[in-house]
Chains A and B, each alone.
Chain A
Amino acid sequence: MKFAVRVACVAFLTALVGWGCGGGGGDSSDQGGSSAPASSAGGSSSAGASHAASGATATLMGKVNLAGAAPERNPLKMTADPACAQQHEDMPALAQDVIVNDQGMLKNVFVYVKNGLEGHEFDTPEEPVVLDQKGCVYTPHVIGMMVKQDLKILNSDPTLHNIHALPKVSGNKEFNLGMPRQGMEFSKTFENPEVMIRIKCDVHPWMASYVGVLPHPYYAVSGDDGGFRIADLPAGEYTIEAWHERYGTQAQTITVGDSPNVEVSFTFQSTGS
């Protein structure tokens, strides 16, 4: 199957000279704004190509909104570890769970294709996904990755962390690793799809992050402006789900047809403080 996909990819490449197979949608920026890890993670375009033989692909774009008053972001009390506190002397780090901008747009929502890609196979990207421990918080706070892709875990802090993953799906192994020194790194993979796996540090109880593991590359995390972008989605019918650690999940059904862009928006309801 994978071989077939690759053949299709190569065929498509030759047909459309100048359109890179690995480059995908181009914009691979993952920082802040409308991120598109789907296209940057690699592999998506090959999948896109196999479909593209029978039609065009579209880019799924949208925003996530939080209706109602957003809760105050409380400062994190890091006094238990001076090495953490010192890094935020000027400005305390704020709670990571609900981050909303002036326009009420919600950051760190994991948006992904839940249904509609069954029966397709996708290559695992060579590039690892990076989870950094810096300033005694996880960056990024929410990540998407593919099954069997490497999750590279870094400790950029001058203190120790343990990194404790709590998957629930059988076949994904719980692990707890010690990272006592600055600059240490580890790589881990997850064998099965799971949305979301909580990763926490038991030394610093405020530290938590979430990883969405999928068998395909069609996912994104909403950025500072609440925007997300999933590129190269082949024509078809899909269930798109949006997940937020505090406000749960929402799903919508969309159809990708001839139009190169598909808009979807999600609105979560604030539950108060």
Chain B
Amino acid sequence: MTSNLPDPANRLQPAGSTPSIWLHRYAVFVAVCTALLVFAGGLVTSTGAGLSVPDWPLSYGMLMPPMVGNVRFEHGHRMVATTVGMLTIVLAVWLQRREPRAQVRRLGWLALGAVVLQGLLGGLTVLLLLPTPVSVAHASLGQTFFCIVVSLALLTSPGWRRATPRSGGASQLRKLALLLTAVVYVQLIAGALMRHSGAGLAIPDFPLAFGRVVPPFESTEVMVHFAHRVLAACVFVAAVATGIHALRHHRGERRLLAPALLLFYLVLIQIVLGGFAIWTQKAVVPTTLHVLNGALILATSLVLTLRSFRLLQPQAHIRQLEPQLREQVVT
């Protein structure tokens, strides 16, 4: 075991110190549960159930209120959130004990901090009667927490540890993927802002806006809504560019090509779901799937970004690696 050796400064981990595969599987499990939690949270907003339980941390003064009407969504969300919170405690402690990389251990604690803060924000939305800034913060931090957990699942994977950085020189994908992730993140916040300021149907038609390409900006709601659509176009362009680039230059690297192509499809689906949110006047299912799929897009582009940084090392960096590692690189 090398787990008690000082952590090497570089991001690469010598083989042989692989912690339990179960830690990785567990991290994946937590990530899946978190995706379900994002869906459950989205359901609360979509059904307008946010204030159906007026108190917090208890629900109607009880741990388990009768699950009737919209209480099913709000208290259900709290139950899933509590479960994910517990799972995150276990994840952080497990990482602390078994994970050799200090950065990854720290990320585990960051996940725990994020989920605790998220729970507090959730309580605050209830006690303050859903003020827009708090709801938007809760929605955005929820997505951020999901990203952290997905990163942990990726970083603990055997594939990540075994990965052999390729001297590509081509760091273009890294830039593209990073840009895409950033644009998607901004888009999620724009979506949350629109959703929680009641601007979801401020433009009632799609793909056109009031029958035009650019709508008349009569109200803040219309502007907020239109910003989400413009950003959607940006996300689409960035996703297409990333996909084409991956097809052209990384056809042989499944670990890069797969997420790049998946992203393209997810973004297409997302735009269709966004359309359905409009056409159905925000029917609960398509609108909530739109929120969930938004989280999946963010997670996928983050995975692509991390992998491109991991796999596509610039030439100079590889030469600096310790000899022991260089051997692996060569194989």
Nearest CB of B to A206, in Å: 10
A180–B62 contact, CB under 8 A?
yes
Say yes or no for B50: interface residue by CB 8 A criterion. Answer: yes
Nearest CB of A to B239, in Å: 37
B66–A159 contact, CB under 8 A?
yes
Which size class do B's interface residues fall under? 20 to 34
Hey, what's the 0/1 contact readout for B37-63 against A, CB within 8 Å counting as 1?
000000000011111111100001110
A83 touches which of B47, B49, B68, B72 (Cβ 8 Å): B68
B51 touches which of A82, A164, A204 (Cβ 8 Å): A164
Give the complex CA separation of A202 and B47 in angstroms.
9
B residues near A82, Cβ cutoff 8 Å = 68
A178 touches which of B47, B60, B70, B72 (Cβ 8 Å): B60
Give the complex CA separation of A160 and B58 in angstroms.
15
B residues near A159, Cβ cutoff 8 Å = 66, 68
Given contacts A160-B60, A160-B71, contact A176 B66 (CB under 8 A): no
Give the complex CA separation of A203 and B59 in angstroms.
12
Given contacts A81-B68, A202-B70, contact A178 B55 (CB under 8 A): yes
Q: Give the interface centre of A180, A203, A204 by most chain B CB atoms within 10 Å.
A: A203
Which residue in chain A gives the minimum CB-CB distance to B62? Answer: A180
Nearest CB of B to A240, in Å: 33
A162–B65 contact, CB under 8 A?
no
Given contacts A162-B54, A178-B55, contact A203 B61 (CB under 8 A): no
A202 touches which of B52, B61, B68, B72 (Cβ 8 Å): B52
Say yes or no for A205: interface residue by CB 8 A criterion. Answer: yes
Hey, what's the 0/1 contact readout for B170-184 against A, CB within 8 Å counting as 1?
000000000000000
B55–A203 contact, CB under 8 A?
no
A160–B54 contact, CB under 8 A?
no
Give the complex CA separation of A201 and B49 in angstroms.
10
Hey, what's the 0/1 contact readout for A153-186 against B, CB within 8 Å counting as 1?
0000001101010000000001011101000000
Nearest CB of B to A119, in Å: 36
Given contacts A162-B51, A202-B49, A202-B50, contact A80 B68 (CB under 8 A): yes
Nearest CB of B to A216, in Å: 30
Give the complex CA separation of A174 and B71 in angstroms.
20
Tell me the number of A-to-B contacts counted with CB atoms below 8 Å: 56
Give the complex CA separation of A180 and B129 in angstroms.
19
B70 touches which of A174, A176, A203 (Cβ 8 Å): A203
Nearest CB of A to B296, in Å: 29
B55–A81 contact, CB under 8 A?
no
A residues near B54, Cβ cutoff 8 Å = 162, 164, 176-178
Give the complex CA separation of A176 and B51 in angstroms.
8
A202–B129 contact, CB under 8 A?
no
A178–B69 contact, CB under 8 A?
no
Given contacts A180-B62, A202-B49, contact A174 B68 (CB under 8 A): no
Which residue in chain B gives the minimum CB-CB distance to A179? Answer: B60
Residues of A174-200 whose CB lies within 8 A of B = 174, 176-178, 180
A176–B129 contact, CB under 8 A?
yes
A residues near B72, Cβ cutoff 8 Å = 80
A residues near B49, Cβ cutoff 8 Å = 202
A202–B48 contact, CB under 8 A?
yes
Which residue in chain A gives the minimum CB-CB distance to B49? Answer: A202
Nearest CB of A to B204, in Å: 18
Nearest CB of A to B103, in Å: 43
B66–A160 contact, CB under 8 A?
yes
Q: Give the interface centre of B54, B60, B66 by most chain A CB atoms within 10 Å.
A: B54
B residues near A83, Cβ cutoff 8 Å = 68
B70–A180 contact, CB under 8 A?
no
Nearest CB of B to A164, in Å: 6
A residues near B60, Cβ cutoff 8 Å = 160, 178, 180
Residues of B243-260 whose CB lies within 8 A of A = none
Which residue in chain B gives the minimum CB-CB distance to A166? Answer: B129
Which residue in chain B gives the minimum CB-CB distance to A204? Answer: B69
A residues near B68, Cβ cutoff 8 Å = 80-84, 159-160, 203
Give the complex CA separation of A84 and B60 in angstroms.
18
Hey, what's the 0/1 contact readout for A74-109 against B, CB within 8 Å counting as 1?
000000111110000000000000000000000000
Nearest CB of B to A117, in Å: 33
Q: Give the interface centre of A82, A84, A177, A180 by most chain B CB atoms within 10 Å.
A: A180
Nearest CB of B to A252, in Å: 32
B52–A203 contact, CB under 8 A?
yes
A205–B48 contact, CB under 8 A?
yes
Q: Can you offer 13 A-B residue contacts whose CB atoms are under 8 A?
A: A81-B69, A82-B68, A159-B66, A160-B66, A162-B51, A176-B51, A176-B129, A177-B54, A178-B54, A178-B61, A180-B61, A202-B70, A204-B70
The interface of chain A, by Cβ under 8 A from chain B, is 80-84, 159-160, 162, 164, 174, 176-178, 180, 201-205
Could you list 13 further interchain pairs (A-B, Cβ under 8 angstroms) beyond the known A160-B60, A201-B52?
A: A80-B70, A83-B68, A84-B68, A160-B66, A176-B54, A178-B53, A178-B54, A178-B61, A180-B60, A203-B68, A203-B69, A204-B69, A205-B69
The 3 tightest CB contacts between A and B, nearest first, are A202-B52, A81-B68, A203-B69
